[in-house]
Amino acid sequence: MTNSQLIKLSARLAALLLILTACSEQTETGTSHSPSPGREEIIQPPISILDHPGLARRIGTEIADAVEKALPSVVVVRTESIRSQPARDSLWGYLLSVPRRELGQGSGVIITPEGYILTCNHVVLDAREIEVILHDGTAYPAELIGRDIKSDLAVLKIEGTGEEFIPLPPADSDRVRVGEFAVAIGSPFALSGSVTIGIISQKGRSVGLLPYEDFIQTDASINPGNSGGPLIDVDGRLIGINDAITTAGPLSRGNLGIGFAVPSNLAMDIAHAIIKEGAYRRPRIGIMLGQLSPARARKFLDRNSGVFIDFVFINSPAEKARLMPGDIIIKVDDNPVNTIREVQRAVIKHQLNEPVILTINREGEEKAVTVYTGQGSEYE
């Protein structure tokens, strides 16, 4: 972020806080927005940041404190891989496959004192050797413990000489609100320890990059090399793992202010499962879903969107619970759902063999059905 951008951001934040403070003071003193009968409304002069020169500095200090807490937990992940490159024999013209050594770099975050590190799967994809560099410059060889391709996450392990590593505490990403501040930390373009600031632009994003997506969208600048690094809140807690960006085109690598992070709740659940069992077994109930057309949704649900069961796998938990194609899912665990992603997010929050209560509409009749989650391999 350039100096001019930082000044503009600080000015906007300061102005917003001053406005909120002024509104609060007016409420406390009984000032009304409506003038009293017979009295003219007094127009307050605009609030200026020049009247409160220390406010921007205090905001900057709060953000700097959060970054200072988080930086010791952020690491650089360097990889070495061997890829085949086609080449033509200059003498006989044969097309050969020539091995080529490739170096890569991304970011990661320490999540346990024992040295477990969370990063993105694409950062360590096909890597023969992995090296982790801590914020103080100490380098460690790293072992790949496991990965979850569908969420693009991987867990690494480094071994210290008796010392404990500094983990980054996670926040509850479900409680993060759109509009809150977000800070991205990582190693974009090999610039380790880089920090950018923005806000939470939206939650629950699906952009078609992965089989399962529930991204947090942020305008904090994320660039190549940031992948695997943390997205933190103003308290220095993990709210997401930076994973992807939107660019201007296939040849562009620059950030447009649209970045995506895997929510910390999902990322930590997957990481703990990989640490404990070596893999993440995603809970499923054995159904394929379809999105209701607006006309059908209005007919059956009196709203413009809805989800129906398109297919039930044989021997699946859904079949055992006697769910049927055509059933319309109204709620999951008493929470209304309108889209396929909302149903998926609700189911994946459960552990294996846990009950999921689906409220369905079947031929105009509403009923609750309890389904126990399974692994999927048992019936797919």
Residues pairing with 155 in the sheet: 118, 146
pLDDT in tens, 167-222: 999 999 999 999 999 999 998 887 888 999 999 999 988 777 777 778 999 999 88
Give residues with Cβ within 8 angstroms of 36, minimum separation 6.
none
Reported as a pLDDT band with limits 50, 70 and 90, residue 240 is very high
Reported as a pLDDT band with limits 50, 70 and 90, residue 26 is very low
What pLDDT, on the 0 to 100 scale, is given for residue 101? 80
First to last CA, the chain: 48
Give residues with Cβ within 8 angstroms of 188, minimum separation 6.
194, 221, 222, 223, 224, 225, 226
Full 3-state SS string of the chain: CCHHHHHHHHHHHHHHHHHHHHHHHHHHCCCCCCCCCCCCCCCCCCCCHHHCCCHHHHHHHHHHHHHHHHHHHEEEEEEEEEEEEEEECCCCCCEEEEEEEEEEEEEEEECCCCCEEEEEHHHCCCCCEEEEECCCCCEEEEEEEEEEHHHCEEEEEECCCCCCCCCCCECCHHHCCCCCEEEEEECHHHCCCEEEEEEEEEEEECCCCCCCCCEEEECCCCCCCCCCCEEECCCCCEEEEEEEECCCCCCCCCCCCCEEEEEHHHHHHHHHHHHHHCCCCCCECCEEEEECCHHHHHHHHCCCCCEEEEEECCCCHHHHCCCCCCCEEEEECCEECCCHHHHHHHHHCCCCCCEEEEEEEECCEEEEEEEECECCCCCC
Pairing of strands 95-110, 181-186: unpaired
Looking at domain 1-23+50-88+95-280, its CATH class is mainly beta
For the residues 15-37, what does the mean pLDDT come to? 44
When comparing pLDDT for 372 and 252, which is higher?
372
What pLDDT, on the 0 to 100 scale, is given for residue 294? 87
Instruction: Please determine, for residue 248, whether its predicted confidence score (pLDDT) is greater than 60.
Output: no
Looking at domain 287-372, its CATH class is mainly beta
What pLDDT, on the 0 to 100 scale, is given for residue 274? 95
For Cα atoms 114, 115, 118, give the angle at the middle one, nearest 5 degrees.
Answer: 125
The rounded distance, in Å, linking the Cα atoms of 354 and 35 is 59
* Total residue count of the chain as it appears in this document: 380
The rounded distance, in Å, linking the Cα atoms of 90 and 58 is 66
pLDDT in tens, 257-294: 789 999 999 999 999 999 998 888 888 999 999 999 88
Residues pairing with 370 in the sheet: 357
Do 240 and 230 meet the contact criterion of CB atoms below 8 Å apart?
yes
What pLDDT, on the 0 to 100 scale, is given for residue 25? 43
Q: What residue spans in the chain does CATH classification 2.30.42.10 cover?
A: 287-372
pLDDT averaged over the chain? Answer: 83
pLDDT in tens, 314-345: 999 999 999 999 999 999 998 999 988 889 88
Q: What residue spans in the chain does CATH classification 2.40.10.120 cover?
A: 1-23+50-88+95-280
The rounded distance, in Å, linking the Cα atoms of 341 and 302 is 20
Of 234, 231, 229, the C-alpha closest to 180 is 234
The rounded distance, in Å, linking the Cα atoms of 127 and 119 is 13
Sign of the CA dihedral running 19, 22, 27, 33: negative
Q: Which active-site residues does the annotation give?
A: 122, 152, 227
What pLDDT, on the 0 to 100 scale, is given for residue 255? 65
For the residues 97-119, what does the mean pLDDT come to? 89
What pLDDT, on the 0 to 100 scale, is given for residue 30? 40
The rounded distance, in Å, linking the Cα atoms of 314 and 380 is 8
For the residues 32-55, what does the mean pLDDT come to? 56
Do 228 and 108 meet the contact criterion of CB atoms below 8 Å apart?
yes
Instruction: Please determine, for residue 371, whether its predicted confidence score (pLDDT) is greater than 90.
Output: yes
For the residues 51-60, what does the mean pLDDT come to? 75
For the residues 82-100, what does the mean pLDDT come to? 69
